[in-house]
Amino acid sequence: MTSLPGSAPRRATLLRVAVITWGVLISAAALVNVVALAKLSEQAQASAPGSQVAALEGRLTELGQRIGQAQQQPAALPQARYDTDRRALEQRLAVIEQTLGERLPADSLLPLQARIEQLEAKLTARPSPAASTRPRTPAKPKPIEPPFQVIGAELRAGERFVSILPSGAAALAQARLLRPGEDEAGWRLEAIDGAIAVFRHGEQTRRLPVPVR
């Protein structure tokens, strides 16, 4: 086959144009891929802190609930158990705080750091035990004094009497005799037991000495 004059240089030129064009297309495709990968990387970096913040907020919420439950436990909670629980919670808070510093930007740390400080403040203050309320002992009623005094005893017809004088009376003429079963101003003479006169006033019993004449 006979080649036309000038066809060889033309083929060489076309081949060079094709190679250059192919190289340009490959470079353009590579550049597009690089730009796309850069955008994906930026999106991943932008979304990663948000997901980390959400996960850490969930852990902080869980810790807050545990601290609240610990503070609502009975005041009789042993000190050793309280200290153990407190140390465990402090360790978890330290891990979360370290994770925040390593993975998140500074502006994302502020609200979470504030929550951590609140939880730490709750940990340092143990709820004071509620004061145990003891049932108040009812005050004993003050003894009521009889409105008279026993001034002696007499024996009449084989029966014993006590002689009483109203309080504040100055004359012995106001004295009267009481036998067992009789009363004076609501005070009933129950018995005369030797030198003791037993009087009863409602639920109260008084034993009054009988002076010996």
Report d(CA 210, CA 153) in Å as an integer. 7
Distance separating alpha carbons of residues 182 and 139, to the nearest angstrom: 31
The whole-angstrom distance between residue 207's C-alpha and the CA centroid of its chain comes to: 55
Distances (CA, A) of 159 to 78, 152, 178, 193: 72, 14, 11, 13
Contact between residue 182 and residue 201 where contact means Cβ atoms under 8 Å apart: no
Instruction: Between 98 and 192, name the one with better pLDDT.
Output: 192
Taking residues 63-75, report their average pLDDT. 64
Please state the domain extents for the chain: 148-209
pLDDT band for position 147 (cuts 50, 70, 90): very high
pLDDT mean over 50-75:
66
Residue 152 has pLDDT above 70, yes or no: yes
pLDDT for the residue 207: 94
Instruction: State the pLDDT at residue 84.
Output: 73
Predicted pLDDT of residue 34: 47
Condensed to tens digits (0 to 9), the pLDDT of residues 86-121 reads: 677 677 767 776 766 666 565 656 676 677 677 666
Confidence at residue 49, expressed as pLDDT on a 0 to 100 scale = 56
